[in-house]
Amino acid sequence: MSNHLIKTPCVGLCSTVYGDLVCRGCKRFHHEVVNWNLYSESEKGAVWRRLEALLVQVVAAKLEVFDEQRLRTQLVQRQVRFNPEQSPYCWAYQLIARAARLIQQVDAYGIVILPEFRERSLSDLRDAIDREFFLLSEAHYERYIAPKFLLEGMEIRV
């Protein structure tokens, strides 16, 4: 990532205010949402990299980006916001998330849906990706973060 200021991953659908430990909107952990403005640029970068890795894992299992330049050009022309420093699979997700109802032929955007998902509408595919992205973020939290918080909260009795 470049040295420019990293903005928040927030997508305006925060569920941590309702008690979720993982936000259903941006997929950050509750403590990351709460402390975001206190994080250093390297801490923010670490969060961004984790989110990107999880999203790429989900998206790459459902589609293939075969022409990065075409995808980038289409995103710019259609004024779909994306981070050019992230994986093209993140760009593809942004395209589907923002313009699923407008896309007639995905190959015109440099992507192809994998055979087992071609019968789904792009809106259904977007929802499936979002659900799996959330589940992976939640699993990551439960595996790596929750045990640490539990250990820190335990008192050692002698």
Cα dihedral value 124, 85, 144, 54, nearest 10: 20
b/e 124-133 (16+ beta carbons within 10 angstroms → b): ebbeebbebb
**Res 122: pLDDT:** 95
Q: What is the mean pLDDT of residues 137-156?
A: 75
Q: What is the mean pLDDT of residues 69-83?
A: 93
138: left (phi over 0), alpha (psi -120 to 50) or beta: alpha
Q: What is the mean pLDDT of residues 58-70?
A: 98
Q: From the centroid of its chain, how far is CA 68?
A: 18
- Continuous segment of H or E residues that includes residue 111: strand 111-113
| 29, pLDDT greater than 80 | yes
Q: What is the mean pLDDT of residues 47-70?
A: 98
